[in-house]
């Protein structure tokens, strides 16, 4: 054990420490590690974190910590995290492997048409190569619907997504969420361990 550790000072890590991330982020599995777990109010399935891009996970945690993204439980969880804690949790979540994939249907044709506008940022089928926008493929339909409604109502601070969702009606949101949920991609954290 180093003198810095004895004094309670962690050396800065070039990358997150997944073992430490598991120790401090294990409580995440209380919601995100239960397949189909639902947020109480409003009721929607909590997002799948397994397979999500590290930059998207870090951006979400920082937004909750900084009170820029609304969700009381996540804001409370994020309030105690520093940047290193977030890097460590992201390293742990990112190291998990995907579970076996099920066959999924292709979703609605209308959802696929609307998703054409999403490709520039999220890529084809919602799994892009750029670092920041989250993977959408395989996410819970109810979570995607809730996220789009929050963007549309200005409850999530993202100018691009707020502008995009402003033009969507409820039918568009439902079909877009169904399309991305039907794609192969994300999985419940902890399933791939």
**129 within domain boundaries:** yes
User: How many whole angstroms separate alpha carbon 32 and alpha carbon 47?
Assistant: 7
28 in a domain, yes or no? yes
Contact 4, 10 (CB under 8 A): yes
Give the pair of three-digit tokens for residue 127: 């799994």
Mean pLDDT of the region 150-172:
89
Residues 151-176 have a mean pLDDT of 89
Q: What is the pLDDT of residue 95?
A: 85
| Cβ neighbours around 171 below 10 Å, total | 10
Residue for token digits 């794609």?
A: 183
Could you count the other beta carbons within 10 Å of the beta carbon of residue 127? 20
Q: What are the residues whose beta carbons fall under 8 Å from the beta carbon of 136, sequence distance 6 or more?
A: 118, 122, 126, 127, 144, 180, 183, 185
Count of domains forming the chain: 1
Q: How many Å is the maximal CA-CA distance in the chain?
A: 61
pLDDT per position as a tens digit, 30-44: 999 998 899 988 899
* Structural domain of 79: 14-181
- Are the CB atoms for 60 and 69 separated by under 8 Å? yes
Contact 145, 173 (CB under 8 A): yes
pLDDT for the residue numbered 98: 58
pLDDT tens for each residue of 92-144: 998 876 554 433 344 456 667 777 778 778 876 666 666 678 889 899 999 99
Q: Is residue 115 part of a domain?
A: yes
- Is residue 189 in some structural domain? no
What CATH number has the domain bearing residue 72?
1.10.760.10
Mean pLDDT estimate for the chain: 82
| Any domain includes 5 | no
Is residue 187 in a domain? no
Question: 192 in a domain, yes or no?
Answer: no
Confidence of residue 7 (pLDDT cuts 50, 70, 90): very low
> Does any domain span residue 166?
yes
Question: How much is the pTM?
Answer: 0.68
Question: What's the token pair of residue 180?
Answer: 């991305």
What does the H/E/C string look like for 13-73? CCCCCHHHHHHHHHHHHHHHCCCCCEECCCCEECCCCECCCHHHHHHHHHHHHCCCECCHH
- Confidence at residue 155, expressed as pLDDT on a 0 to 100 scale: 87
pLDDT confidence tier of residue 8, bands split at 50, 70 and 90: very low
């Amino acid at each position: 054990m180093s003198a810095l550790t004895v004094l309670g000072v962690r050396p800065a890590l070039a990358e997150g420490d997944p073992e430490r991330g598991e120790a401090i982020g294990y409580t995440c599995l209380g919601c995100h590690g239960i397949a189909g777990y639902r947020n109480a109010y409003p009721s929607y399935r909590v997002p799948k974190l397994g397979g999500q891009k590290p930059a998207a996970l870090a951006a979400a945690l920082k937004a909750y910590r900084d009170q820029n993204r609304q969700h009381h439980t996540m804001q409370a969880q994020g309030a105690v995290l520093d940047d290193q804690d977030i890097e460590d949790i992201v390293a742990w979540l990112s190291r998990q492997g995907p579970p076996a994939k099920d066959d999924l249907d292709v979703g609605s044709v209308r959802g696929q048409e609307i998703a054409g506008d999403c490709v520039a940022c999220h890529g084809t089928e919602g799994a892009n190569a750029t670092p920041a926008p989250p993977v959408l493929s395989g996410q819970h339909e109810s979570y995607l619907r809730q996220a789009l409604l929050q963007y549309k109502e200005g409850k999530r601070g993202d100018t691009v997504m707020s502008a995009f969702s402003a033009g969507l009606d409820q039918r568009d949101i439902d079909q877009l969420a169904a399309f991305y949920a039907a794609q192969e991609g994300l999985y419940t954290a902890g399933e791939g361990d």
